[in-house]
Structure formats: C-alpha cells, structure tokens
C-alpha cells in the first residue's frame, strides 16, 4: 500500500516537474558512484609520510580526533595514556596485551622509540594500526596496501552501506586496520622500521646490557661494550640474523665459544658465550637458521648471548635492529 502511494506520488511529480525527477536521478547516480569510489579508490600505493607535529596542541588535537572517530570500535577501547616513571613503549604494550608495532601504529607521529616521562600516547586493546585516508583512496585500496580484506576493515570500523551512502569517508578521516603493521610513519620512524628488516634477533630474551660505555660487571671499571647482551637459558637455540657465510666458529678468548657470520648485505654479526656450535667455517646459512646453542662460556657472570653487529667493518648498535 505504501509503495503504491509513493509510486503514485512520483508519477504525479514526474508529469508536473520532469526537471525535478531528472535531478533526483542524477543525484542518486552520483551517490552510487560515490559509494563505488569510496569502496575501491585508486590502486594501492605506499602511503605518504606522516608529518611531525610542531606543537603539543597539534598533537593533542590529533589524538582527541582519533579517539572521537574510533570510539565506536568494539574492544579497541582507544584512549590517551600518560607515560609514568619507569615505563617505556614495550612495557605499555605488554600491559595492554598488544605489541610495539601497535603502539607505533596508533601513534604515527612518533619520531623514535624512546618514551618520555608524562608523554601522552594513544593506546588500545586490539593489535593493528591507524590509517589516515589519503586523497583518492578507498577501502579496497587501503585493504590492498595492508594485505587484508576490505570487508574486515568495514566490519571492525562499523562502516555499513548506509554509512557509505550518506556519510562517506573523506581524506583526513581515520580508520583502524586490524592486525596490520604500520605503514603511515614519520620519515625518521620509517628509517628505523627499514633497519628492522636488515637483521632479525638471534633469539628471544630480555636485554641485560646495552651497547656503549658501561660498568664492566667483573672489574667494575668503565669500559666500552661493543654489543648487546641477551639473557638466555643454557641450551636455547641461537639463529643467524640474516643470510650469510660463517667466517669463524670456535673458541675466542673472553667470548668463549663463538660464531661469526658475514652477511650478504654488508653486515657481520658475532654470537658469543655459546655452549655448543652447530656450524663450520665456510658454511652458508639462512636468516633464522639455527647455528648454535646459548651458554655461559668465556668471560661471563651468568648465562647470556653476546651479540655484536658491524656494518662494513664499523660497529653498529644492535638495538637499532632488534626492537
């Protein structure tokens, strides 16, 4: 009955006002085209670099905008968190059951990985990252960029057909991409992310001593430490940080049982204080291939892996790669 009345009304309107009907048809067509573009957009490409905020007010405004736009997402519980004494990005990620990539992905304006006391940070309860919609992007092109299905982005962000029809996304709007690595980064952070692809961690574990000048645990004197110490259990597997060739495998004084690998990308890595060596000099190894078992040999105060990195003969801080 209602449809008949609506049909009769449009028949009457079309006889008396044909121009109105034409404009209505054009408007509906534009809405459909808008929905189509909103869904597809241009082919996926690398996103633009995220700009560094010049003032605290700019950063605060962005954070509040993100919270406002994403508060509808179930279980994300995105909020602004103030960093307290003794906390860092890793500990905050652990407390929220997410990872360091999600911390960076929710805060695309970050320039480095060093947390500041009383710094305000966006945190949430789901792994993933933010994406700020760029001109000519649609949900499908964004999904291609991050390697997930556009239907999943729609579901998580609660984007229905009616939403796309009457309130389409615009450049500058923020969406949450679930279970995705961040792609929208500042120039400095992008460089740090590229470093992570060069070498992988030889094993999991807490870092007990960093790179640089430190107090020697045996002599208690200030001394240069050319690597990173990683806490282990004796017998833990140790993997090669990248593809390469073994150039040393044996006893090496204070390093105890040690393996040294020359990698194809110009880097060289050293693995010290091993309990057992599983490779020989000249052997080719792959990234992640088991080359030894961790131990407590040589000059140590406890079981740990000493990991040193050189780039074309010059020592490099391993923390740049392993965070």
Model pLDDT for residues 65-79, shown as the tens digit of each residue? 999 999 999 889 999
* pLDDT greater than 70 at residue 190: yes
Residue 295's pLDDT band, with cuts at 50, 70 and 90, is very high
> Which of 309, 242, 222, 321 has its CA nearest to residue 270?
309
- The beta strand positions in the chain, using DSSP E, are 79-82, 120-123, 128-132, 174-178, 207-209, 212-215, 222-225, 228-231, 237-239, 244-251, 257-263, 267-277, 284-285, 290-294, 304-311, 314-316
* Other beta carbons within 10 Å of 47: 19
Instruction: Give dist(CA 244, CA 261) in Å, integer.
Output: 6
Using the 8-state DSSP alphabet, how is residue 137 labeled? B
CA distances in angstroms from 145 to 106, 133, 137, 150, listed in the order given = 17, 12, 10, 10
Identify the CATH number of the domain defined by range 207-322: 2.70.70.10
Q: What is the largest CA-CA distance in the chain?
A: 99
Average pLDDT of span 223-229: 79
Mean local confidence (pLDDT), 148-175: 82
> In the predicted model, what is the mean pLDDT of the chain?
84
Per-residue confidence (pLDDT) for residue 45, from 0 to 100: 61
Quote the pTM value. Answer: 0.70
Task: State residue 246's pLDDT score.
Answer: 98
Backbone angles phi, psi at 171, to 5 degrees: -55, 130
The band of 108, judged by pLDDT with boundaries at 50, 70 and 90, is very high
Q: What is the pLDDT of residue 21?
A: 54
Place of tokens 């107090």: 215
DSSP label at residue 96: T
Other beta carbons within 10 angstroms of residue 138's beta carbon come to 21
φ/ψ (deg, to 5) at 234: -60, 130
Average pLDDT on 240-255 reads: 96
């Amino acid at each position: 009955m209602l449809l008949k009345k609506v049909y009769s009304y449009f028949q009457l309107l079309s006889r008396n006002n044909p121009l109105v009907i034409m404009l209505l048809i054009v408007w509906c067509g534009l809405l459909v085209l808008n929905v189509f573009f909103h869904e597809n957009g241009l082919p996926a490409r690398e996103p633009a670099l995220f700009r560094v905020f010049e003032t605290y007010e700019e950063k605060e405004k962005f954070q509040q905008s993100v919270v406002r736009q994403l508060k509808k997402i179930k279980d994300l519980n995105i909020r602004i968190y103030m960093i307290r004494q003794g906390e860092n990005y890793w500990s905050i990620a652990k407390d929220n059951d997410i990872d360091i990539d999600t911390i960076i992905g929710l805060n695309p304006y970050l320039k480095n990985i060093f947390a500041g006391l009383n710094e305000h940070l966006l945190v949430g309860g789901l792994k993933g990252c933010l994406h700020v919609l760029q001109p000519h992007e649609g949900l499908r092109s964004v999904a291609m960029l991050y390697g997930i299905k556009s239907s999943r982005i729609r579901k998580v962000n609660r984007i229905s057909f009616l939403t796309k029809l009457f309130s389409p996304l615009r450049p500058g709007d923020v969406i949450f991409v679930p279970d995705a690595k961040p792609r929208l980064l500042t120039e400095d952070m992008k460089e740090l992310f590229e470093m992570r692809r060069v070498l992988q961690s030889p094993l999991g574990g807490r870092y007990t001593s960093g790179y640089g000048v430190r107090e020697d645990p045996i002599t208690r004197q200030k001394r240069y430490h050319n690597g990173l110490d990683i806490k282990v259990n004796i017998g833990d597997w140790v993997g090669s940080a990248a593809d390469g060739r073994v150039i040393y495998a044996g006893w090496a004084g204070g390093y105890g049982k040690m393996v040294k690998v020359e990698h194809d990308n110009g880097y060289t890595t050293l693995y010290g204080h091993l309990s057992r060596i599983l490779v020989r000099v000249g052997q080719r190894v792959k990234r992640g291939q088991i080359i030894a078992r961790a131990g407590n040999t040589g000059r140590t105060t406890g079981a740990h892996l000493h990991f040193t990195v050189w780039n074309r003969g010059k020592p490099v801080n391993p923390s740049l790669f392993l965070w």
